[in-house]
Amino acid sequence: MKDRQYNKSIAVMGGTFDPIHLGHLAVAQTVFEEFSPQKIIFIPSGIPPHKEGVSNKEDRYNMTVLATLNNYFFDVSRMEIDRKGTTYTIDSILELKNEYGQDTKIFFIIGLDIIKDIFYWKNYEQLIKLCEFIVVPRPNINEDEIKEMINKFSKTEIKFTFLEANKLEISSTDIRNKIANNKSIKYLTTPEVESYIIKNRLYKNNKFINIDIDEIDKFIKSELSSYRYTHSIGVAETASMLAERFGDSKEKAYIAGLLHDCAKEKKYEEKLSLCEEYKIDLDPIMRSNPDLSHGLIAAEIAKKNFDIYDENILNAIRYHTTGRKHMTTLEKIVFLADIIEINRGDNPFLKELRDIAIYNLNAGVLLGLKKSMDLCIEKNIIFHPMGLEALNSLESNM
């Protein structure tokens, strides 16, 4: 623990720090030089770990410690991490006043995008009496508009200074997306934080997809007939609806739905040569019926053209034709959405399946698999063994 000396001013920087990056550190350093506080205190927020998009608080705390370890004047506080229940800024400021003395001036570092929300915060009138705000510029946000707004809303006098800082346009979201897409984050955060992220495999399971849906849309439109393009949109929308219902990621479901059939209309020879190019090993059944491989090819296209590396999305695309043993929720969702989406029209079987799918995902997939097995028998073609395995594993769990 670094020494805490009592002095007349400190600066506070709050945030989720998920992860902390060089932009945060550069701002802190500028504040340190411009305002001469005795310390900059980083306070990672205590948002509960189950909240969508926010990592475990101990990881966020550890990364903040690692990033600031080499600077004597930077300190990290656990106060919000350790506080039970909802954490309010005012509570942290009061705690700091107790710790550093009531006469200590507190500079509160805040983003230009956040300061306008301050009037909604708990006990904001007390808060703005206790702090001086240092406002950090943000790209695309107009300073004058914000100043005008602050003056309009502020009944109590609010002290704020706009920081002349280099706009280092690094964002935590960008770092998380890079990790999820296997790209380097060198020079965006400190080497210690980078190693911590790699060692602990943070942000690998991409909950933070930043994939350009419009690009995918354009691509499938160019690859598919208008019938199949409309079907793909239908699958994406139905999958997204089912994901919401069964607690999976709507974004992932939508993306998998859009791409699931992107290789479907390729000619027989092209399918075979793409399998060769992507080193997809076709079993004898798929070799005799290469149409079954269109999911496997589509997953490779998703990787190559759109940098999608999320295995759950890729597998949902891969196995949408056959199914397989132990399918994930997302795989089941896309499998089912492919069958029931609205452009498939209406018939008694689809009506029944749509009714079941909404309430019981497993029962829906099972019924869908049974129907495709029946169709195979009817058409005298082999029902793929992976489908049979899926069917058996679902049946044994019913």
- Region near Fe ion per CB under 5 A, out of 150-158, 190-198, 257-265, 386-394: 257-265
Using rule CB under 5 A, residue 338 touches Fe ion: yes
Q: Residue 353: phi, psi to the nearest 5?
A: -65, -40
Could you give the CA distance from residue 147 to residue 392 in angstroms, rounded to a whole number? 65
Count of Cβ atoms closer than 10 Å to residue 63 Cβ: 27
Identity of the amino acid at 62: N
Q: Which stretch binds Fe ion (CB under 5 A): 157-165, 181-189, 259-267, 302-310?
A: 259-267
Report how many residues bind Fe ion under the rule CB under 5 A.
Answer: 2
In the complex with Fe ion, which residue's Cβ is closer, 124 or 254? 254
Q: Which stretch binds Fe ion (CB under 5 A): 76-84, 197-205, 336-344, 357-365?
A: 336-344
Residue type, 222: S
Q: Find, among 78, 76, 72, the residue nearest to 32 by Cα.
A: 72
Please state the closest distance from residue 370 (CB atom) to Fe ion, in A.
18
- Residue 321 Cβ vs Fe ion, minimum distance, rounded to whole Å: 5
Residue closer to Fe ion (CB basis): 331 or 338: 338
Distance of closest approach, residue 237 Cβ to Fe ion, in angstroms: 13
Question: Least CB distance from residue 378 to Fe ion, whole Å?
Answer: 19
Give the interface segment with Fe ion, choosing from 7-15, 58-66, 338-346, 385-393 (CB under 5 A). Answer: 338-346
Minimum separation from the CB atom of position 254 to Fe ion (A): 14
Strand 74-76 to 39-44 pairing: parallel
Taking the least distance from each CB to Fe ion, the nearer of 261 and 331 is 261
SS3 111: strand
- Choose between 337 and 391: whose C-beta lies nearer to Fe ion: 337
- Return the number of the residue (158 or 243) whose C-beta is nearest Fe ion: 243
| Distance of closest approach, residue 287 Cβ to Fe ion, in angstroms | 18
- Judged by CB under 5 A, the chain residues 179 through 238 that form the site for Fe ion are none
Pick the piece of the chain touching Fe ion (CB under 5 A) from 5-13, 39-47, 118-126, 334-342: 334-342
Beta carbon nearer to Fe ion, 19 or 290: 290
Reading the block at residue 211, the tokens are: 């994939």
Of 180 and 259, nearer to Fe ion (C-beta) is: 259
CB of residue 251 to Fe ion, shortest distance in Å: 19
Which residue has tokens 């075979």? 272
| Interatomic CA distance for residues 154 and 127, integer angstroms | 12
**Given the complex with Fe ion, which of 166 and 305 has the nearer CB atom?**
305
Is 325 in contact with 387 (CB distance < 8 Å)? no
- Span interacting with Fe ion, options 98-106, 167-175, 191-199, 331-339, rule CB under 5 A: 331-339
DSSP E strands in the chain: the ranges are 9-15, 39-44, 74-76, 105-111, 131-136, 160-162
CA of 202: how far to CAs of 134, 178, 310, in Å? 31, 11, 14
DSSP 8-state assignment for residue 183: -
* The only residue of 251, 261, 310, 331 in contact with Fe ion, by rule CB under 5 A: 261
Is 109 in a helix, a strand, or coil? strand
Sequence-separated contacts (24+) of 149-153 with Cβ below 8 Å: 149/116, 150/115, 150/116, 153/119
HSE-CB at 152 with a 13 A cutoff on CA atoms is 7
Note the residues at the interface with Fe ion (CB under 5 A).
Answer: 261, 338
